[in-house]
Amino acid sequence: MTTAFLFPGQGSQAVGMGKGFYETSAGAKAIFEEANDALGFDLARLAFEGPESELALTANTQPAVLTASVAAATACAERGLRPALAAGHSLGEYTALVVAGALRFTDAVRLVRKRGEFMQEAVPVGTGAMAAIMGVELPAVERAVALATDRGGKMSVLLPVSAPFHCSLMAPAGTRLAPELDAARVAAPRLPVVRNVDAGVTRRAEDVRPFLLRQVASPVRWTDCVQRLAAEGATAFVEVGPGRVLSGLLRRILTGARGQSVEDPAGLEKALTAAAGAAESRS
């Protein structure tokens, strides 16, 4: 069995995320403490207690989701559950690169804090929106949601984010992010990471910065990413971090795909049981 980890992006946040791992995993607790030190405020308390309105601010959401996801992956590793490949949705691509060893966690959490600030400041608050539409691409978000069913869309929903990310309106954010990325230390990933921009595979250190920079104002080609993971040999998929959005999408993208969601210790136990059962069935 070849396992791919999927890491969620903005919109999967919820008050209380990561608390279960913080309380049960020494490694996960250390990740939250490292984030607090790197950012200079109590991110753990914000993630665990809210308020939701403050957690929903993009500059807070992005480091919080990243930290909760890396903490969950750390807890998985402590129990022997590790990926052979990885991908992350938008912000989650940073998580994938951290878990793969291409980015240091402290660099990544500072980067996504800045990324969130820059992306929110690129457009006025309340301007624009985002939607997930399965099976169809249309330019006007509200009209697209209204017309998607008639056009053959299988699922359409406005996303709980505060700005129209991954479009040309984000170009100013990319310009501001460039020197921040240049200052971050990168390394060759220890495992392949499928990237959002083109569903290509990042295997070299020199591919990390340019594709993260392009990602800011480019569409997330998530269907292509999941299909590329399967083409690279992934046979089992584990969504690691808050929410279960990617697990739901997985079933729509790959017929018969086997997916698990690890957002808390109970989910980890289920994933470990599923992995043990798959191993036993092969023996």
Preceding omega of 51 cis (within 30 degrees of 0): yes
Q: How many H helices and E strands in the chain?
A: 13, 8
**What are the angstrom distances between the C-alpha of 266 and each of 154, 237, 240, 272?**
31, 17, 12, 10
Catalytic residue among 69, 90, 156, 247: 90
Exposed, middle or buried, 202 (CB in 10 Å: 0-12/13-18/19+)?
Answer: buried
Indicate the SS3 state at residue 260: strand
From the list 162, 168, 91, the residue with the least C-alpha distance to 130 is 162
How far apart (Å, rounded) are the C-alpha atoms in residues 74 and 69?
Answer: 9
CA atoms within 13 A on the CB side of 164: 16
Catalytic residue among 12, 69, 89, 166: 166
Active site residue 90: yes
Report yes or no: 95 and 88 within 8 Å, Cβ to Cβ: yes
DSSP 36-59: HHHHTS-HHHHHHH--HHHHTSHH
Report yes or no: 12 and 65 within 8 Å, Cβ to Cβ: yes
Active site residue 247: no
How far apart (Å, rounded) are the C-alpha atoms in residues 268 and 99?
Answer: 17
Exposed, middle or buried, 143 (CB in 10 Å: 0-12/13-18/19+)?
Answer: exposed
For residue 253 the two structure tokens come to 């993208």
Q: Would you please indicate which residues are annotated as catalytic (active-site) residues?
A: 90, 166
